[in-house]
A and B are shown apart, each in its own frame.
Chain A
Amino acid sequence: MLLIDCPWCGERAETEFSYGGEAGITRPKDPAALSDAEWADYLFMRNNPKGAHRELWNHSQGCRRWFGIERDTLTYRIAGTFRLHGKDEG
């Protein structure tokens, strides 16, 4: 079981959290201007690195906030957790 350090609640068991995919994907400002390939890339294509991976997690059984984790996909070692925006961002 992983211990995940929620930026608000502190260290909690992995079972309290849910995974939310790769972090840092921003919606294109003008989707209509994109080609189908670019839109599909934004919607579906994700990195699958062996090593460090920045990803979104939600503390679903706790404070229910989204935050980010940098985790090594090979060793599961968590390098750190971070809040997504301002410090009070929900």
Chain B
Amino acid sequence: MTDLSQRRHGLETLVGAHGDREQLSATVTLEIRAAVRQLNLRGDPGKAGLRTAAEEALGQALPVQPNATTAGPHTICWLGPDEWLVLSATPDAANVATALEQALSKHGAAVNDVSGGQVLLHLAGSGVRDLLAKGCTLDFHPRAFAPGACAQSGLAKANVLIRLDEDGEAFDVVVRRSFADYLLRWLRHAA
């Protein structure tokens, strides 16, 4: 497993002057979190033992309600009835994929490290909900988008996964690496 702490996300030319943190506007800050490992997990949750095995390997349960996340050592987002994204910033994140794969191999599940293919943008500040609403059809009102919820949708036409943290203050936006350059420019412009 490669060490993600020193990993280049390929956006240096775009964010070079600002580093990985950038003030998009007076009310929104952006941070590119390249060191968070992203694992895609697919498997049938109805199959006996899969959820228990995953819970043992990860130290927390898989969310089975649509558009929910669970917090714990990692953040696990629901992507579909048989698909999850594990976001892991723990020091031993590199070993999580191996452990998970070993634990789930006999349950017909697939674990893939997609850290290189996706970029995690962390957006914080009082203006974030308004900013996202400019390019997305989801309702970002606190009444509709609750803390800990996640949703996949389009942001400025790019496919994204949007998650609101447990405090209800900052959003994580996961986007394909190839769309990150475009989305970053759009966010800057829209903010």
Identify the A interface with B (CB < 8 A).
Answer: 1, 8-10, 12-13, 15-16, 61-65, 87-88, 90
Interchain CB contact under 8 A, B80 and A8: yes
Interface residue tally on B, bucketed by range: 10 to 19
Residues of A with C-beta under 8 A to B46: 88
B152 to A, closest residue via Cβ: A62
The answer to the question of B148 belonging to the interface, with a C-beta cut-off of 8 Å to chain A, is no
Interchain CB contact under 8 A, A64 and B80: yes
Interchain CB contact under 8 A, B151 and A62: yes
The 8 nearest A-B residue pairs measured at CB: A13-B137, A63-B80, A8-B66, A61-B154, A62-B152, A88-B46, A88-B81, A61-B159
Interchain CB contact under 8 A, B81 and A63: yes
Given A15-B137, A16-B153, 10 extra CB contacts under 8 A:
A8-B66, A8-B80, A10-B66, A13-B137, A16-B154, A61-B154, A63-B66, A64-B80, A88-B81, A90-B81
Residues of A with C-beta under 8 A to B154: 15-16, 61
Residues of B with C-beta under 8 A to A62: 151-153
Residues of A with C-beta under 8 A to B79: 63
